[in-house]
Structure 1
Amino acid sequence: MQFIYKLILNRNSILVFAVILGLVAGDFASIFQPFSFFVLAVTMSFSMTGIRMQSLLNPKAMLGPMLLGAFLNYAVFGLVVISLAYFVMPTENLFYGFVVIAAAPPGVAIIPFSYILKGDVEYSIAGVLGAFLASVVVAPLFISLFANHTDVSSYSLFILMVKLVLIPLVISRFMLYKPLFRYIEPVRGKVVDWGFAVLIFIAVGMNRQVFFSAPTILLLVGGVLLTVTFGLGTIYSLIAKRMGIQRPRATTQTMLATIKSTGFSVFTALTLFGKEAAIPSAVMAVVVLLYLIFLSIKSSKLKMTVS
């Protein structure tokens, strides 16, 4: 019983379970789709409580990390993934799915994993916040530039970003109020994990026929995401080492350049372009999970070597 309890509270197990459930019981995914906005809004609000404004009391010190966080997340990861997808994806909607991934803000998991992997936590907070704030402008710009012949207006995209980023960020400030936060903090991680799991279940479930009948598409999508995530992460780590960037900061910067918000991209792709466009985001959930496990193992081996 204790084993089952630990299993359902483990982030990795929850996300794997969401993928499996989507494949097995995907017919029910459409029932939950109307609630996806509410699920994402709650999840984003809880996850953003990890961004503490106290870390930003020194604007001069934080401006650099905020700008670099936005640059790595959009100019580096975003443009690389769009370029690869443009040449590889067989349909427009699949390509649009990658445009949404490129436009998505970074995964808030970067902050706790900076702590777990002995990265620079303060730097991660500033970098994630900078990229989140930039997403309000960058996301509509990316989608307008690379999906410009769709019926999605720049204004509607801007309003969507305000709803999905700015409003949850404001709500999260109220949630940090001490008398309230003492009740939120113990359940925050699980609300975020299960919220993203619901969104992944919806994306996988609504595309379950692709997972069973179109292995070529899965290989193409997975190949692009694995190349960008693991390849870009490895290349950036080597560059950071060559430039003499200290390992804690390099670890955080690498995550800023490789990890996107899966839940955000799932919802946005479904809302703007339909279920086929959500396939890359559903696959990305698995790739990001594998990458975080890879970084954890790599960090453990490094500790053993140092000790």
Structure 2
Amino acid sequence: MNMKSLLKSSAFMMMLAMFVALVTNLGGWFPESLRPNIRSDLTIWTLVVMLTLSLSRIPYRNLNPVAHGTSVLRAVMLGLIISSIIPLIGYYILKDTDFGNQATGLIFVAAAPFAGSVVPLSYILRGDMEHAARGTIVTYVVSLVWIPAIIWFTLGESVEMTDVLITVLKLLGIPLIASRLLTKVKIDKDLMAIFLNLCIFFMVWLSVGATNFKGIPAWVFVVFALIAFLRSFGLGFAVERAEKRMGIGWSQRVTDILMASYKNKGIAIALCTSGILGPITGDAMVAIATSIIMEIIWVAFMDSVLFSRKRMERELASEA
């Protein structure tokens, strides 16, 4: 595999980013000049650029949510509501323990919609592209309300909701509008994939590299890892099994599994580091960092096993 192929591989770049971030963190080599406010701005605007480019690849056709109500409802249910249940349960179990500050990070995992890369992954894996495109646009529009609602419901008066709303408008409002201006601009797919993966690498390094892991018992990481495992692997397998029993074909299953199990960790990171949590921001990143590690393993598993080319060809042949 050449360098270009590695740079195009999301799984490889995410794993490399986590390795470099942990080495930087544990080695005490993270630059002190990158103060929290600087990291927050860098994370937010990097994500704004990423989302703008990702959403710009979704064409205008067949986006009407009224004409495709079932598809849109399924996307919102899987991508926002069902996918948020496990991290929210985890937060409420842990919030009154000595590690409640760390558990706060689970709120941002719950609030985040599915990753914008669900659309290109659906294309690669022969998923339902129109469902993925409609679902992404509508889910991200709904997230303008969903994210502040989840944060207000869980944290209430402990955060300044005006700051939350401003952050959400930056993260989602700008890309939703700006992306529509770029839909007809041709961008080389390989170049775009490499650029987006480099952005992911930077954000993972910037956030995990600065996370304070000192003094956290091993069992806390195990608990966060278990929550992340249930949210990605557990939910992904549950959707796969349920829809296969219902006789739902490969294309819809692929997209639905991605929507339910593949959270946009960039949004979770950006929300957490935006400053709305004040001094506990570093603690809250522990849950998100642990979730990122599990999500990297899940992405690699989906790529190599769950959605492998051999399995895809076998499933499509049986449907035909």
TM over 0.5, shorter chain: yes
> What residue number does 1:14 align with?
13
Distance, in Å, in 1 between the alignment partners of 2:306 and 2:87 is 24
Matched, 1:182 2:186: yes
Distance, in Å, in 2 between the alignment partners of 1:303 and 1:68 is 23
Distance, in Å, in 2 between the alignment partners of 1:94 and 1:149 is 18
How far is 1:127 from its partner? 1.3
Is 85-94 or 258-267 further displaced after alignment?
85-94
Match of 1:61, SS state, is coil
Distance, in Å, in 2 between the alignment partners of 1:117 and 1:198 is 26
Distance, in Å, in 2 between the alignment partners of 1:251 and 1:29 is 40
Match of 1:81 among 84, 87, 93: 87
How far is 1:141 from its partner? 0.4
Match of 1:165 among 148, 172, 175: 172
Residues 86, 227 of structure 2: 8 Å contact kept: no
Distance, in Å, in 2 between the alignment partners of 1:194 and 1:87 is 36
Q: Pick the structure with more helix per residue.
A: 1
Distance, in Å, in 1 between the alignment partners of 2:5 and 2:126 is 24
Match of 1:28 among 27, 30, 38: 30
How far is 1:140 from its partner? 0.4
> Superposition pairs for residues 4-153 of structure 1, below 5 Å?
4-26=3-25, 27-28=29-30, 31=34, 33=39, 34-56=41-63, 58-88=64-94, 90=97, 91-153=99-161
Gaps of 5+ in 1: none
**Given residue 208 of structure 2, which amino acid in structure 1 is its aligned partner?**
V
Distance, in Å, in 2 between the alignment partners of 1:29 and 1:245 is 50
How far is 1:88 from its partner? 4.3
How far is 1:92 from its partner? 2.4
Match of 2:62, SS state, is helix
> What residue number does 1:260 align with?
263
Residues 196, 262 of structure 1: 8 Å contact kept: no
How well do the aligned residues superpose, as a CA RMSD in angstroms?
2.3
The 1:59–1:135 alpha-carbon spacing in structure 2 relative to 1, beyond 3 Å, is closer
The 1:93–1:213 alpha-carbon spacing in structure 2 relative to 1, beyond 3 Å, is closer
Match of 1:223 among 199, 221, 226: 226
Residues 97, 277 of structure 1: 8 Å contact kept: yes
Match of 1:175, SS state, is coil
Show CA shifts across 1:190-210 (max 9, x none). Answer: 222111221111221112534
Distance, in Å, in 2 between the alignment partners of 1:9 and 1:298 is 20
Is 105-114 or 283-292 further displaced after alignment?
283-292
Matched, 1:205 2:213: no
State the number of aligned residues: 300
Show CA shifts across 1:208-229 (max 9, x none). Answer: 534x964322211111000121
TM-score (norm 1): 0.88
Show CA shifts across 1:104-144 (max 9, x none). Answer: 12101211221222221111111122211110001000000
Match of 1:54, SS state, is coil
> What residue number does 1:286 align with?
293
Gaps of 5+ in 2: none
Distance, in Å, in 2 between the alignment partners of 1:305 and 1:64 is 28
Show CA shifts across 1:133-179 (max 9, x none). Answer: 110001000000011141221x33222211111211211122223xx
The 1:72–1:183 alpha-carbon spacing in structure 2 relative to 1, beyond 3 Å, is closer
Percent same amino acid at aligned positions?
A: 21
Show CA shifts across 1:6-35 (max 9, x none). Answer: 434432222112111111223425526142
The 1:196–1:151 alpha-carbon spacing in structure 2 relative to 1, beyond 3 Å, is same
> What residue number does 2:236 align with?
233
Show CA shifts across 1:56-101 (max 9, x none). Answer: 1x54433322222111122211123211332146422222211111
**Given residue 96 of structure 1, which amino acid in structure 2 is its aligned partner?**
T
Distance, in Å, in 2 between the alignment partners of 1:277 and 1:224 is 15
The 1:165–1:299 alpha-carbon spacing in structure 2 relative to 1, beyond 3 Å, is same
The 1:22–1:161 alpha-carbon spacing in structure 2 relative to 1, beyond 3 Å, is same
